[in-house]
Structure 1
Amino acid sequence: MGVVLSIINESFPPKSKFNVEDIPDLSGKVMIVTGANTGIGKETARALLAHNAKVYIATRNQGKAEEAIKELKEETGKEGIFLKLDLSDLNAIKSAAEEFSSKETELHVLFNNAGVMAPPIEQLTAQAYDLQFGTNVLGHFYFTKLLIPALLAGARSSPDGKARVVNTASSASLLVGGLDFNTFKDTPARKKRATIMLYAQSKLGNVLFSNELARRYGDQGIVSTSLNPGNLQSDIQRHLSTLEWLLINPFLYPAKYGALTHLWAGTSTEGVELGGKYLIPWARVGTANPVAQDAKLAADLWKWFEEQVENV
């Protein structure tokens, strides 16, 4: 019953007390938004640019990124910067981090927003991980790990002594009772799982990663939060069946609403106090899956992450 109530609370939020107009001037702040060419990421980038942040649009499709950058410049007068990032390929992630580091020494906010939902079960990452866990969780872990020096430098240069990492999860994270490490790569155990449940597992992984990042780096100035952005009209649903889409479509909100919780975590004064928290629509502190509070599981997951990227 607790899970049902939590999902209802997250699915039908009250009017937001935080709005885009509440974002402070972000001049001098360097930010990355993964998956910023569409959906929530694009709406997040739009608001950041409008408030004078320097925004890197991190996505794998340069054509779509350039279209988004052009549109956002026409609307805000500010130009985002394309950063080629394929989160389904560890080598490509390393190249993206190196490209960013060649241009910037500081990073003030990292929005780990990109993701994939319920793709065909045969789809894998370049290194043969489950596409959802490999992209949504491992990919963002590795990208974040490589950017830790820039985030620490960003924290040191900020008046409040903080840099922020905002990790996009989902209410689907409430639907699973743990992590099955045997399903992270292409195994018989993985093939037995419904692809939508592999998605839910990846979203729980996002929350566990975020909490462990807060434990490890919170005292060094990195504020790590995870969030459910809401049930939104987004490109992420492209793999759902027609029936699945018809069932959920009446309950979806425009993507601009989904950006509110990202922006609250990433830009507001209150945001610096949200380390280790799980946020829900619109711009509220919520209650995560109890499994996400399992410090041993989070530490084991972090250890697994490190083992996967050790020789990249």
Structure 2
Amino acid sequence: MGQIISEAYPPKPAFSVDDIHDLSGKVMIVTGGNSGIGKETVKALLNRNAKVYIGARSPERALEAIKELKELTGKEALFLKVDLEDLKSVKAAAEEFQSKETQLHVLFNNAGVMMCYDFQFGTNVLGHFYLTKLLLPTLLSTAQATGTDVRVVNTSSSGHMFVNTIDFNTLKDGPARQKWNPTNLYGQSKFGNIVHANELARRYGDQGLIASSLNPGNLHSNLQRYMSPVFAKIIQVLMLHPTPLGALTQLYAGTMGGKELNGKYLIPWARFGKPNSGAEDEALGKALWDWCEEQVVSI
């Protein structure tokens, strides 16, 4: 209970964007980088001279964000078209990126949807799993060529505490899924983000890959767009923090520290925490990996 309260109402951050070292020569992708904490993350990375691709499905929104960020930072992010609900789009995005870049230092799996019944696990978990899978050769070759670590950062949520496992029967339409409400399905998807990161850490930690997951905090963002207006307003007044604070934890995971981050779960603002213990189940990690592989095998 203590950590849950601490995550909801964190102490003043000890880490700030000013602590990030120069990132010249580093290539990074931020999915959902056109809005919310993704946009704040891109802004901080650009200010530290990283080359940043914004992964988004809407060219108009992405280009608008790129223009605004250039005015703020003097640096220009790049657009990478990817719709995480469409696995063919994910494959095309990975191919486009690899046609332009030979290295990738950090993949921020930041994009997500909330409280929309059908798309949550597919977008939040499977889409990011597939993108990561396709980019793994580039990540691992970057680690080998540079002799430095590369990173995958999965943005989860305190909502993962609603569940303690993954019910694979709920990942397809049918009686099992109909028994779950959107809140629990969202929590399961965020739980899946942690399970995925932990399995990445186990499989590739000895090859220079550092994988972590995090709760960015309860924030003002467009994630609340699927909530009822009344409930969203109550949440905003009682629980939500400014969006720039939400970028701190994933920026820390992506740019600071070292191997001690591998397989770890971070909480606001840039602190180490503990996820629901079920997320650390190695058998579940393998089961999720195998399930995801089965979904993408014919793409």
TM bracket, shorter-chain basis: over 0.9
| Match among 76, 79, 83 for residue 79 of structure 1 | 76
Instruction: Name which of 86, 98, 101 aligns with 2:98.
Output: 101
- Compute the displacement of 1:217 (Å): 0.4
Matches of 2:47 and 2:78 in 1, distance apart?
14
Q: Is residue 198 of structure 1 aligned with residue 185 of structure 2?
A: yes
From the superposition, tell whether residues 17 and 158 of structure 1 become closer, same or farther in structure 2 (CA, over 3 Å). farther
Report deviation, 1:271. 4.1
CA distance in 2 between partners of 1:281 and 1:69 (Å): 27
- State the match for 1:292 in structure 2: 279
TM-score, structure 2 as length reference: 0.98
Please list the CA deviations of residues 88-131 of structure 1 after superposition, one character each: whole Å capped at 9, or x if unmatched: 01111000000000001110000000000001x3xxxxxxxx41
Contact 1:264–1:271, Cα closer than 8 Å, also in 2: no
Which segment is superposed worse, 210-219 or 241-250? 241-250
| Matched position secondary structure for 1:36 | coil
Please give the alpha-carbon distance, in whole angstroms, between the structure 1 residues aligned to 2:235 and 2:275.
22
User: Match for residue 114 of structure 1?
Assistant: 111
Gaps of 5+ in 1: 122-129
Contact residue 164 and residue 279 of structure 2 kept, 8 A: no
SS at match of 2:160: helix
Aligned residue in 1 for 2:208: 221
Q: Distance in 2 between matches of 1:157 and 1:78?
A: 26
Q: Is the 8 A contact 1:115 1:236 kept in 2?
A: yes
2:168 is the alignment partner of 1:171: no
* Structure 2 residue identity aligned to 1:249: Q
Q: Distance in 2 between matches of 1:53 and 1:235?
A: 25
Equivalences for 1:1-312 in 2 at 5 Å? 4-119=1-116, 121=117, 130-159=118-147, 161-250=148-237, 251-268=239-256, 270-312=257-299
Question: Match for residue 126 of structure 1?
Answer: none
- Give TM-score scaled by structure 1 length: 0.94
Q: Deviations over 1:248-302 (max 9, x none)?
A: 112111110000001111111x144200000000000001100011100111110
Aligned to 2:14, what secondary structure does the other structure show? coil
Identity of aligned residues (%): 61
Q: What is the SS of the residue equivalent to 1:199? A: helix
Aligned-pair CA distance for 1:9: 1.4
Q: Alpha-carbon deviation of 1:153?
A: 2.0
Q: SS in structure 2 opposite 1:114?
A: coil
Q: Distance in 2 between matches of 1:245 and 1:158?
A: 46
RMSD of aligned alpha carbons: 1.0
Matched AA of 1:253: H
Q: Is the 8 A contact 1:174 1:289 kept in 2?
A: yes
Is the Cα contact below 8 Å between 2:160 and 2:276 reproduced in 1?
Answer: yes
Deviations 1:45-66 (A, max 9, x none): 0000010000000000000000
Structure 1's consecutive aligned runs of 4 or more residues displaced over 6 angstroms after TM superposition are none
CA distance in 2, matches of 1:301, 1:79: 37
CA separation in 2, counterparts of 1:152 and 1:254? 35
Cα shift at 1:16 = 1.0
How big is each residue's C-alpha offset from its partner over 1:218-253, in whole Å with a ceiling of 9 and x where there is no partner?
Answer: 000000000000000000110001232122112111
Q: Residues 214 and 265 of structure 2 are in contact (CA less than 8 Å); yes or no, is this contact kept in structure 1?
A: yes
| Gap runs ≥5 in structure 2 | none
| C-alpha distance in 1 between matches for 2:273 and 2:128 | 22
Q: 1:271 to 1:236 in 2, by over 3 A?
A: farther
Report how far residue 186 of structure 1 moved.
1.9
